[in-house]
Amino acid sequence: MQQTKDLVIAYECINAIGNALELKAMLLEVLMAFGTQSGALGAAYFEAKEGEYRLLVKVGSYEAFQPELGREALERAYGVTTLDSLYQLSLAVQNDLLLLVYDASRAHIDRIGTMFAGFRRKLMISVNACRGVEQIQELNEQLEERVQTSVRLMREQEKMLIGQSKLATMGEMMSMIAHQWRQPITTIGMVANNLIFDLQMSEMRSDDMIKELEVIDAQVHHLAKTIDDFRNFFRPDKEKESFTLQEVIDDTLKILLRSFDNNGIAIMIEGNGGYTLRSYKNEMIQVLLNLFGNAKDALLEAKSPNPCVTVRFDEDEERIIIAVCDNGPGVDEGIADRIFEPYFSTKSEQNGTGLGLYMSNAIVQKHIGGTLDFINTYPGVCFRVLIDKKSSGAAHEI
């Protein structure tokens, strides 16, 4: 009977680990599961900071945790100290401490401590993953400050604007990486859950373990490929290359599709993207990222029903046309003649630098061989990249 209860406790507790990428939210769920399932009076997580312990989260009615008394757990599976008539159970998560206080027998404490010590590695991985996301968010804030500094410098040299505009989008890139990683990390956590539970139940066969490990390996490769996709965007273009319009759209969607999905914005593609250009592919992607980003911001701000962005491929006798259209509020006619001016933005100071459309227009004119314009479609707006067939070396459809 006791073994069955312990297995239930283990199952519920291990399922609570890694269910969120925000550190405090994840730890709160862990503490609630650990404390409730094991009968603790209270549970707390202390972060090691500059030789001291700082309380991050706690649950339960108990308040007088003693993290300094838990240091013995740093070099042991777990530690137990007495607090008057109570026991404090300490688990080390790298240099941090997870503390639980019980009004129970020492035998109960030792049984729970042995069980929870088996979860430390998974908890450590989850804590590190959450801190990695926090570092990305901190990097976002730092990048926003760098962009503001760069904007003042770029007034003197237009050549610097193209390079610095990539920095302006990097904060959003970090957020997109977090979105791309969330599902694979969750899958890895679930598979690890299954492995640990099956091992505890003594039901694991070698064939089943290999299959589960292959799932983890596939997810790790997916994470690595995501990083490669983002890294390729930041690779500087040195020479012109041949690429199709569809390839440019596909590479752009690799970067931003998950962000659009998470915001409930549909993406549709119309027409044939088989035309081949000889130009600077990454700069073309940069233009499209700006257009997609502006469309997403407009749709979210306006809370448009059934938000959608449509990419349309078209042509006439002299030009290839790529249109990025949304069903949002469109461009206010009162500012229509200013939207391509440098430093002009309808967004808040925090969310816009006023360089996106200006730089996109400059890139299309000076590097792609075309022009950028827009047409209000009521509802919505279409921003069109008009590429001259002769200057871009465009080939017929393939």
Q: Are residues 226 and 264 in the same domain?
A: no
Q: Where does a domain end: 216, 233, 250? A: 233
Q: Which CATH number belongs to the domain containing residue 20 in this structure?
A: 3.30.450.40
How much is the pTM? 0.46
Q: Which CATH number belongs to the domain containing residue 286 in this structure?
A: 3.30.565.10
Q: Does residue 303 come out as left (phi exceeding 0), alpha (psi in the -120 to 50 range) or beta?
A: left
The gap from C-alpha 258 to its chain's centroid, in whole angstroms, comes to: 9
Considering the domain boundaries, does residue 123 fall inside one?
no
Answer yes or no: are the C-beta atoms of 90 and 98 closer than 8 Å: yes
pLDDT of 349: 47
Q: Is the pLDDT of residue 272 over 70?
A: yes
Which structural domain, as residue segments, surrounds residue 357? 241-388
Q: Are residues 188 and 288 in the same domain?
A: no
Q: Where does a domain end: 212, 233, 254? A: 233
Higher pLDDT, 93 or 163: 93
pLDDT of 4: 65
Q: Are residues 289 and 246 in the same domain?
A: yes
pLDDT of 308: 94
Higher pLDDT, 217 or 371: 371
Helices (H) and strands (E) in the chain — how many of each?
9, 12
CA distance 57 to 98: 10
Q: Are residues 339 and 248 in the same domain?
A: yes
pLDDT of 368: 84
Tell me which residue of 351, 368, 300, 49 sits closest to 171, measured CA to CA.
351
What is the DSSP pairing of strand 308-315 with strand 266-270? parallel
Q: Are residues 98 and 151 in the same domain?
A: no
Q: Are residues 280 and 328 in the same domain?
A: yes
Considering the domain boundaries, does residue 398 fall inside one?
no
Considering the domain boundaries, does residue 284 fall inside one?
yes
pLDDT of 394: 54
Q: Are residues 216 and 303 in the same domain?
A: no
Q: Are residues 106 and 142 in the same domain?
A: no
Considering the domain boundaries, does residue 172 fall inside one?
yes
Number of domains in the chain: 3
288-307 pLDDT tens trace:
888 998 898 889 888 888 99
Q: Are residues 376 and 267 in the same domain?
A: yes
Considering the domain boundaries, does residue 278 fall inside one?
yes
Q: Where does a domain end: 215, 233, 251? A: 233
Q: Is the pLDDT of residue 157 over 70?
A: no
Q: Are residues 195 and 248 in the same domain?
A: no
Q: Are residues 272 and 354 in the same domain?
A: yes
Considering the domain boundaries, does residue 396 fall inside one?
no
Considering the domain boundaries, does residue 292 fall inside one?
yes
Q: Are residues 217 and 272 in the same domain?
A: no
Considering the domain boundaries, does residue 324 fall inside one?
yes
